[in-house]
């Protein structure tokens, strides 16, 4: 008797009960993994300051809204970019160019759906800042 024959003899037939238990185990595992992933990168409600005639919208708020940043890590990245612009480490012109490029790229349909511009902005801004010697 070879290994395949011994495996086939040891394998039990798949009953409705065993199938239901296996399916329940897989579903519970997926829910737990999804909950852990969501807990790590959860969507947060972003506080935005209203713009007024005397005070235009801030760079941070423009980036958060325009790039559709929703995750904590995305908002933190946008805040870091705005801080680098405020301190003068990063030229606003570079940030604006990357912002408008990411918005145009994010608005295009890909496989029947659009993607949020932050997905394109983050790696592009990191690469451009690296060329300037600025760590983001």
Q: What does the pLDDT read at residue 98? A: 98
* Residue 1 falls inside a structural domain: no
Q: Is residue 120 part of a domain?
A: yes
pLDDT, tens digit (0-9, with 9 covering 90-100), for 61-107 = 999 999 999 999 999 999 999 999 999 999 999 999 999 999 999 98
6 within some domain: no
Q: Identify whether the C-beta of residue 136 lies closer than 8 Å to the C-beta of residue 91.
A: no
Q: Please indicate, yes or no, if residue 73 is contained in any of the structural domains.
A: yes
Number of domains in the chain: 2
Domain containing 18 equals: 13-40
Is residue 80 located within the same domain as residue 127? yes
Q: Where are the alpha helices (DSSP H) in 41-71?
A: 59-67
**Are 117 and 103 a contacting pair, CB within 8 Å?**
yes
pLDDT grade for 37, boundaries at 50, 70 and 90: low
Provide the 3-class DSSP secondary structure of residue 43. Answer: strand
Give SS3 for 110.
strand
| Residue 54 within any structural domain of the chain | no
- Is 87 within a domain? yes
Residue 49 lies inside a defined structural domain of this protein: no
pLDDT value at position 100?
Answer: 97
Same domain as 80, residue 21: no
């Amino acid at each position: 008797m070879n290994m395949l024959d011994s495996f086939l003899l040891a394998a039990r037939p798949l009953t409705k009960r065993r199938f239901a238990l296996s399916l329940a185990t897989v579903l519970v595992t997926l829910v737990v993994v999804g909950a852990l992933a969501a807990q790590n990168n959860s969507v947060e409600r972003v506080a935005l300051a209203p713009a007024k005639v005397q005070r235009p919208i801030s760079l941070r708020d423009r980036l958060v809204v325009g790039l559709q940043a929703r995750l904590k890590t995305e908002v933190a990245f946008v805040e870091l970019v705005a801080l680098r612009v405020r301190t003068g480490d990063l030229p606003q012109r570079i940030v604006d160019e990357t912002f408008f490029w990411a918005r145009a790229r994010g608005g295009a349909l890909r496989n029947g759906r659009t993607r949020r511009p932050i997905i394109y902005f983050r790696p592009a801004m990191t690469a451009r800042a690296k060329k300037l010697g600025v760590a983001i």
